[in-house]
Structure 1
Amino acid sequence: MPLMPVTDSMFLMVETREHPMHVGGLQLFRKPEGAGEDYLRDLRRSLLESDNMRSVFRMRPSRPVNTVGHVRWSRDTDLELDYHFRHSALPQPGRIRELLELTSRWHSTLLDRHRPLWETHLIEGLRDGRFAVYSKIHHALMDGVSALRHLQGTLSDDPADLDCPPPWGSREKPATNRNGRASTSPFALVGKTFEQVAGIAPAAAKVAREAFREHRLTLPMQAPKTMLNVPIGGARRFAAQSWPLDRVREVATAAGVSRNDVVLAMCSGALRDYLIEQSALPDAPLVAMVPVSLRRRDSGDATGNNIGALLCNLATDLTDPAARLAAISESMSNGKKLFSQLSPLQTLLLSGINVAQLGASPIPGFVGNTRPPFNLVISNVPGPRKQMYWNGAALDGIYPASVLLDGQALNITLTSNGDNLDFGVTGCRRSVPHLQRILTHLDTALAELEFATRV
């Protein structure tokens, strides 16, 4: 049984009914031409009969050690696949609205720790003839980047490829031990930990020196208190929509900024309009935490957690969309510049400083009596660059559903998908009313950016 990395253990320790710690995703597919009425039933049967399963999908936490929590993973040798893989149908009239409501309920429930920490739902009944797949997996096993990498590994760019692996399978045998993670001896783990601890002091000094030398750098505790930064309940709302990548690319080219800067400006404009609509826009600009993957692009790793955290000034106090975009681009450039000057350990340390306050959020009264470290998380995860298929079915959309914490009632995560950008918006059902309005405001914000940057 492999030892559980500290990051994985922490995701399990902080989980409560109000704070499910899984990441999820909703995929939309168009059935292949000529698919009959039994297409989905036959697909499910064939997937249940497959013996292709990545070992990470057999991992479940071992029994906790007193109050320390889980320290080891164990392997489920008798996994009930039909428990984890479920077939459901939408209520009539089978609109996207019904699909998102069902996804919202599934994303609100905890995973069973007595079993491997994942579920996949095959969904039929959409009135346009498409079908959907909603999957969720505990953050202790995969972060959003690794989950999307895994998904892409099950897809094909060939519509005639009818031998794609199931959502829990793989095309290649992972280069890990049979429990799903690279084997690490306790002695090697202790040695590595000692090496990291020894480097913390000089790393901390450099981070502090570099961070405070750059006066324009966005730091924790600069975010205003908003209606989004309150204690949350366990129920979720989920909304999703796609926009053409070309529209974002054209704005980026015209303004001389990155596509991610334009995405952040879309979110900034949408949040500004949404909060004005709720009579809740603060005078100070909102601050977003922007996760940055620390994996090498060629690493091929699709498990675990390896994420840095930048803070970005969203400039929601500015009325001009072009000025907001410029301020966001400057803020992101400053953060990226600092990250580029740091070692991996120092990058993790700075990221830890940026999110450290979240560790105290479960303390009663803490969220209500302190300023938030940032107002929300906005994450842009790279996805497939061309049209993809799964056993002949064309992928129409990938909509990420993410984690919320006390004081962080809203999350916006998007991914590229061929010619589109697919947005998933996750919110606390109690704290973020009319969540779907954010989609309307995202569309308005993009149109305003196009007009503002038009030559």
Structure 2
Amino acid sequence: MADEADLTEGVDRPLDWASDPHMSSVDTIMWRGDTDRRMRGTICMLEIYDCDPDWDRLVAAHEWASRMAPRFRQRVVDSPFGTGTPSWAVDPDFDLHYHLRRIRLGGDGSIRALLTTCEQLAMTALDAARPPWEGYLIEGLPDGKAAYFLKAHHALTDGLGAIIGLAQLHSPTRDHNPKKPQPPSPDPVNITPLDLIQRQIAEEVRRIPHRLDTAFRGVRALTNPRQALSTALRYGRSVPRVAGLVSPPGSPLLAHRSLSWRFSAFEVPFADLKAAATAARSSVNDVYLAGLIGGFRLYHEKMGSPVESIPVAIPISVRRPEDPAGGNRIAVGRLAGPVGIADPFERVLTIREQVRQARHEPAVDIFNTLGSVMAWMPGTVLMRFSGTTSQNDLQASNVPGIPWETYVAGAKVERMFPFGPLPGCAMMATMITHNGTACLGINSDGAAITDQELFAECLVAGFGEVLALAADDDVTPGELKRVV
């Protein structure tokens, strides 16, 4: 969606989105994670359209978007040693014909067949020598509908950054807008290994004053030894919690890991989630997590393997207003998912308190703090830290979506289902809200969740428990629906 100020002033320029020419340390860690196939950082978005978009317009829209957001024309340039932060550079061989593809859905054309196709596409590695994204128009859905599947590397952006980008690149109308800005194609950039190493060394030199200042403030804090000791102890106790070193043990039922991704999709009116949150005096995110964990509780019971808690990780946004829209600005929060709590109200309140505590951990931003050092580690060394994610049974994120109707090449976007990667965890759950509907995308390890159908039933029932809390306020409880 074009910026109104740009239109009135006649200024044609790219979006201020993912414009940093170099990877941040957190992005670098995600990029290097691909050293281990089990840690691939591919994020996906599945959009359902009310009709087939015009192919020529869709191609033109992608060409335009790659000029509006030049990151989609940029490849990753890493050092020959695979250390330090890589750079982004416009690919001189950028070929939209490679990145944008058109396929027809096989099988019975059902949503289940669509999700199976998307699983297979998602599990295929991105080409590291090209801009790390691929887009697929998938035709042949029932009732003349179509789908669009976008896969990209997590190093491009976090969930909130992705929504910011999509909101500006989607159209608010079905008709073509000839007045949208038309920035020129970005010029190719040639970065040699020597250029990259020189830039990395210069960055480390620029960090010296900051590190000296940090050391000086640490020494100065010793003038009040009692306060300094108290602060150090609080931080020291926080580090193991944030790093996941003191998480509850993983569920034996979910212990196995593989390379197999399995997708499922659900939806619920966002108003129903808000009503349940109001009734529980908690946030929508608390209710969302309580619904997920309720599903795990029921699944464990039906599989004859009940547990009291499971390790859960949630992203905590540390994005500031002045931060660029792209890239990752997240920290990690750790929870002991209260699977053993049957009462949904008590479960919501327990999660609310755990989330509050996780957000205020003194060491919550430790991976961003240490990132500049960790970025110098080769991928094979970094993967030794993968246990901090592979021990999680659930990772869950909730991202605000686009609150208005959106269109692509003449087709209306009816639903947007996000699917996060599986960095060694049993399940990744991601929810965004699109035009009043909360869309939940589940990516689970096929070796961990062995009965996908049963888990889907349990998840619907688990959300039913927390959504029913709204009935206490004379509101008809909502229902989570599986998209099949």
TM-score clears 0.5: yes
Alignment partner of 1:311: what SS?
Answer: strand
Report the residue type matching 2:459 in the other structure: L
Tell whether 2:468 aligns with 1:444: no
Structure 1 equivalent of residue 225 of structure 2: none
Give the Cα–Cα distance (whole angstroms) in 2 for the partners of residues 227 and 381 of structure 1: 30
Structure 2 equivalent of residue 9 of structure 1: 28
The answer as to whether partners of 1:23 and 1:139 remain within 8 angstroms in 2 is yes
Report the residue type matching 1:21 in the other structure: G
Q: How does 1:75-224 map to 2 (within 5 A)?
A: 75-160=90-175, 162=177, 187-188=202-203, 190-192=205-207, 195=210, 199=214, 206=231, 208-209=233-234, 212=237, 220-224=245-249
The answer as to whether partners of 2:449 and 2:455 remain within 8 angstroms in 1 is no
Q: Which of residues 312, 329, 345 in structure 2 aligns to 1:288?
A: 312
Q: State the Cα distance separating 1:110 from its structure 2 match.
A: 0.6
Structure 2 equivalent of residue 314 of structure 1: 337
Structure 2 equivalent of residue 305 of structure 1: 328
Q: State the Cα distance separating 1:189 from its structure 2 match.
A: 5.1
Q: Deviations over 1:114-161 (max 9, x none)?
A: 211110111111012211111111122222222222111112333445
- Classify 1:46/1:74 alpha carbon distance in 2 versus 1 (closer, same or farther; 3 Å): closer
- Classify 1:436/1:133 alpha carbon distance in 2 versus 1 (closer, same or farther; 3 Å): farther
Give the Cα–Cα distance (whole angstroms) in 2 for the partners of residues 21 and 186 of structure 1: 27
Tell whether 2:455 aligns with 1:431: no
Structure 2 equivalent of residue 168 of structure 1: none
Give the Cα–Cα distance (whole angstroms) in 2 for the partners of residues 268 and 359 of structure 1: 33
Q: Deviations over 1:381-403 (max 9, x none)?
A: 11112222224322211111111
The answer as to whether partners of 1:93 and 1:127 remain within 8 angstroms in 2 is no
Give the Cα–Cα distance (whole angstroms) in 2 for the partners of residues 49 and 371 of structure 1: 37
Alignment partner of 2:37: what SS?
Answer: coil
Give the Cα–Cα distance (whole angstroms) in 1 for the partners of residues 323 and 384 of structure 2: 38
Give the Cα–Cα distance (whole angstroms) in 2 for the partners of residues 360 and 226 of structure 1: 27
- Classify 1:207/1:416 alpha carbon distance in 2 versus 1 (closer, same or farther; 3 Å): farther
Alignment partner of 2:421: what SS?
Answer: coil
Give the stretch that moved more between structures: 80-89 or 155-164.
Answer: 155-164
Q: How does 1:38-49 map to 2 (within 5 A)?
A: 39-47=53-61
Alignment partner of 1:279: what SS?
Answer: coil
Give the stretch that moved more between structures: 321-330 or 79-88.
Answer: 321-330
Give the Cα–Cα distance (whole angstroms) in 1 for the partners of residues 138 and 287 of structure 2: 33
Structure 1 equivalent of residue 89 of structure 2: 74
Q: How does 1:272-287 map to 2 (within 5 A)?
A: 272-282=297-307, 284-287=308-311
**What is the percent sequence identity of the aligned residues?**
24
Give the Cα–Cα distance (whole angstroms) in 1 for the partners of residues 106 and 149 of structure 2: 16
Give the Cα–Cα distance (whole angstroms) in 2 for the partners of residues 305 and 392 of structure 1: 31
- Classify 1:231/1:251 alpha carbon distance in 2 versus 1 (closer, same or farther; 3 Å): same
Report the residue type matching 2:444 in the other structure: G
- Classify 1:63/1:212 alpha carbon distance in 2 versus 1 (closer, same or farther; 3 Å): closer
Report the residue type matching 2:408 in the other structure: W
The answer as to whether partners of 2:242 and 2:364 remain within 8 angstroms in 1 is no
Which one has a bigger Cα radius of gyration?
2
Structure 2 equivalent of residue 417 of structure 1: 434
Alignment partner of 1:128: what SS?
Answer: helix
Q: Deviations over 1:185-223 (max 9, x none)?
A: 85355323652586389599747516859xx99964222
Alignment partner of 2:206: what SS?
Answer: helix
Report the residue type matching 2:93 in the other structure: D
Alignment partner of 1:412: what SS?
Answer: strand
Structure 2 equivalent of residue 385 of structure 1: 403
CA RMSD in angstroms, aligned pairs only: 4.0
Give the Cα–Cα distance (whole angstroms) in 2 for the partners of residues 330 and 83 of structure 1: 48
- Classify 1:300/1:195 alpha carbon distance in 2 versus 1 (closer, same or farther; 3 Å): closer
- Classify 1:430/1:229 alpha carbon distance in 2 versus 1 (closer, same or farther; 3 Å): closer
Alignment partner of 1:403: what SS?
Answer: coil
Q: How does 1:341-356 map to 2 (within 5 A)?
A: 347-349=364-366
- Classify 1:252/1:51 alpha carbon distance in 2 versus 1 (closer, same or farther; 3 Å): closer
Q: State the Cα distance separating 1:303 from its structure 2 match.
A: 1.8
Q: State the Cα distance separating 1:453 from its structure 2 match.
A: 5.0
Q: State the Cα distance separating 1:375 from its structure 2 match.
A: 2.8
Q: State the Cα distance separating 1:25 from its structure 2 match.
A: 0.9
Give the Cα–Cα distance (whole angstroms) in 2 for the partners of residues 318 and 326 of structure 1: 11
Q: Which of residues 56, 59, 69 in structure 1 aligns to 2:71?
A: 56
Q: Deviations over 1:235-270 (max 9, x none)?
A: 311111211111111111111111111101111101
- Classify 1:404/1:371 alpha carbon distance in 2 versus 1 (closer, same or farther; 3 Å): closer
Q: TM-score if structure 1 supplies the norm length?
A: 0.80
The answer as to whether partners of 2:390 and 2:423 remain within 8 angstroms in 1 is no
The answer as to whether partners of 2:316 and 2:333 remain within 8 angstroms in 1 is yes
Q: State the Cα distance separating 1:91 from its structure 2 match.
A: 0.7
- Classify 1:299/1:23 alpha carbon distance in 2 versus 1 (closer, same or farther; 3 Å): farther
The answer as to whether partners of 1:155 and 1:164 remain within 8 angstroms in 2 is no
The answer as to whether partners of 2:49 and 2:412 remain within 8 angstroms in 1 is yes
The answer as to whether partners of 2:333 and 2:364 remain within 8 angstroms in 1 is no
Structure 1 equivalent of residue 417 of structure 2: 399
Give the Cα–Cα distance (whole angstroms) in 2 for the partners of residues 222 and 51 of structure 1: 42
Give the stretch that moved more between structures: 419-428 or 298-307.
Answer: 298-307
Q: TM-score if structure 2 supplies the norm length?
A: 0.76
Give the Cα–Cα distance (whole angstroms) in 1 for the partners of residues 24 and 172 of structure 2: 35
Tell whether 2:353 aligns with 1:330: yes
- Classify 1:292/1:193 alpha carbon distance in 2 versus 1 (closer, same or farther; 3 Å): farther
Give the Cα–Cα distance (whole angstroms) in 1 for the partners of residues 274 and 182 of structure 2: 34
Structure 1 equivalent of residue 258 of structure 2: 233
Give the Cα–Cα distance (whole angstroms) in 1 for the partners of residues 380 and 340 of structure 2: 28
Report the residue type matching 1:292 in the other structure: I
Give the Cα–Cα distance (whole angstroms) in 2 for the partners of residues 232 and 409 of structure 1: 7
